[in-house]
Structure 1
């Protein structure tokens, strides 16, 4: 599709303390084969040099517009950015990402008069062994992306879509899942652009994996976003953790108090159900990392689910006391 000047394209992004990555993102946007007609950025109150770096770019490139909204969460930042766009087609990319040179040209090519939403794909760009394993364990492959369940790291839509289903500002996480559910409910026409690629850095360490999984599960339950599926995943994770912890405890009891030889003989049979073998993976270090990342994720997810439930119960109790 060829867009007229009136049918320009707005790219937007929300940022917070992205001093180390914002330059790479902006350079990738300014190097597109089809330049955006504007780039709208909302900063949630960065305390590093993110704002200074963006200001430098706004002086050189008038298409970049910066808005600062201290303490804004991601949903609030998304709504503010989109409200300040000038064109009908809006494309979302996240901080920490780098757009392929043909990214924008390819994603807008899928629009015609019947299409409301085009989903691109996201490819992990891990720099360390941990990041590579984190990307492979926790995130979908290119073939697993769905047109009607887009990643908001790489998403294009017509403005009327957002006008009908703005991001829920009560959600400090899960705002994209909430948005995707409303896309399906409203029957918007979606397409998938596998040739529109964004690269991004996966979680860098166990703390980031834990915090992200915990906050997602807690927000899902607290804000009733895919609560049923979150509950199923959390309960499955809890059962796995309990079973595996019990198996390890039994091994150490046998080893310490009964037969060391017997315990060692039994150990492979105890260990095997605990290990996700990841077919085709031959690197022992990666298998160890992947399993540790996986169990960190399900532990955090289970705890987030539990704490989200507590908040919901307190809220319901407070509401019933007012009646």
Structure 2
């Protein structure tokens, strides 16, 4: 039997798609655990209606609200193997579960999953989909390569063998964001095999406003230092560049007092921003969004990363002073 888990919070617009997909997808022998983080809309009501007709759907209540608590609660209260995570804002191919099982069988991996395929209904979402999969946007990460097949340090959402949690532990509940990154990095550090298959297909709808996008990437950046502190072998240059760039932007007014040459890196950045935007060959509206999305995600992630580092530094200094 498969265990399917899905953390939710105020997902009345999307939860029906998840429930319908689960009921119709093969194989039949499976259970779905919806973990609600205190929704104030009709999410719980909708799930409860489906439970009346489908006894393999269960609703759990996550008093701690955040995703890592929801994942751990579901894992502890589930029975199946493997355990597969779903996201309410994602659309899945009808053979999604079957391809996961097939990949486990073919690769003998501990973790499997597909790439992060981003799609959009609005011009802004389409712009994010392009910008956050380009090399200039997020670096050379395998999870964004839709035709890649092979071992990876990460997969989108993920499917896990149950024994893995006994061997390396559950999700780190300190991480409101990046808990999946840390778990997969930890698995890799234990010598576990993570396999990314392009046959496992799903489609994710990104944020639909600059404020929501900034908040998302700020949180990614803020919690990344804690992840890298735990799993230092996974530190990569792409994790550090946004923080360096943000520090440069913050200190630029002071630097310009010293020399006008400090303006050159900013000019190079805007040139690259323009080049990668034009390379997209999108219409005017989408291109205008793309050229603004690049600095938004870079500065949001970078500022978050710097503040995350400062938090770790302060905590370490406090602990050392009390020894």
TM-score range with shorter-chain normalisation? Answer: 0.7 to 0.9
Written as runs of structure 1 = structure 2, the 5 A alignment for 1:202-213 is: 202-213=206-217
Q: Does 1:164 align with 2:167?
A: yes
| Residues 152 and 161 (structure 1), Cα distance of their counterparts in 2 relative to 1, 3 Å cut | farther
- Once the two structures are TM-superposed, the CA of residue 274 in structure 1 deviates from its matched residue by 4.7
Q: Distance in 1 between matches of 2:148 and 2:166?
A: 28
Residues matched between the structures, number: 297
Alignment RMSD, CA only? 2.9
Work out which of the residue numbers 181, 186, 189 in structure 2 matches 1:182. 186
Match of 1:234 in 2: 243
Q: Deviations over 1:144-195 (max 9, x none)?
A: 5764333342x22210112223111111111111011112112223333322
Q: Distance in 2 between matches of 1:210 and 1:12?
A: 27
Work out which of the residue numbers 89, 107, 123 in structure 2 matches 1:129. 123
Contact preservation (8 Å) 1:174, 1:225: no
| Residues 76 and 270 (structure 1), Cα distance of their counterparts in 2 relative to 1, 3 Å cut | closer
Written as runs of structure 1 = structure 2, the 5 A alignment for 1:55-134 is: 55-112=48-105, 114-134=108-128
Q: Distance in 2 between matches of 1:24 and 1:110?
A: 24
- Once the two structures are TM-superposed, the CA of residue 43 in structure 1 deviates from its matched residue by 1.2
Work out which of the residue numbers 8, 28, 52 in structure 2 matches 1:35. 28
Q: Deviations over 1:60-93 (max 9, x none)?
A: 1111011102223211111111111112211111
- Once the two structures are TM-superposed, the CA of residue 121 in structure 1 deviates from its matched residue by 2.9
Contact preservation (8 Å) 1:117, 1:156: yes
- Once the two structures are TM-superposed, the CA of residue 211 in structure 1 deviates from its matched residue by 0.2
Which SS does the other structure have where 2:174 is aligned? coil
Q: Distance in 1 between matches of 2:57 and 2:37?
A: 17
Contact preservation (8 Å) 1:277, 1:287: no
Contact preservation (8 Å) 2:280, 2:287: no
Match of 2:305 in 1: 305
Q: Deviations over 1:282-317 (max 9, x none)?
A: 423222211201111111112112221232232123
Written as runs of structure 1 = structure 2, the 5 A alignment for 1:47-58 is: 47-58=40-51
Contact preservation (8 Å) 2:112, 2:155: no
Match of 1:275 in 2: 274
Q: Distance in 1 between matches of 2:268 and 2:201?
A: 43
Match of 1:5 in 2: none
Q: Deviations over 1:193-217 (max 9, x none)?
A: 3222112211111011100111111
Which SS does the other structure have where 1:42 is aligned? strand
Contact preservation (8 Å) 2:113, 2:159: yes
Written as runs of structure 1 = structure 2, the 5 A alignment for 1:256-267 is: none
Larger radius of gyration: 1
Match of 2:205 in 1: 201
Match of 1:256 in 2: none
- Once the two structures are TM-superposed, the CA of residue 95 in structure 1 deviates from its matched residue by 2.2
Q: Distance in 2 between matches of 1:58 and 1:313?
A: 47
Q: Distance in 2 between matches of 1:213 and 1:145?
A: 27
Q: Distance in 1 between matches of 2:269 and 2:246?
A: 18
Q: Distance in 2 between matches of 1:269 and 1:198?
A: 36
Contact preservation (8 Å) 1:17, 1:46: yes
5+ residue gaps, structure 2:
134-143, 257-266
| Residues 169 and 242 (structure 1), Cα distance of their counterparts in 2 relative to 1, 3 Å cut | same
| Residues 208 and 225 (structure 1), Cα distance of their counterparts in 2 relative to 1, 3 Å cut | farther
Contact preservation (8 Å) 2:115, 2:156: no
Q: Distance in 2 between matches of 1:170 and 1:88?
A: 26
Structure-1-length-normalised TM-score: 0.82
Q: Deviations over 1:89-134 (max 9, x none)?
A: 1111112122211111111112239332222233223100100111
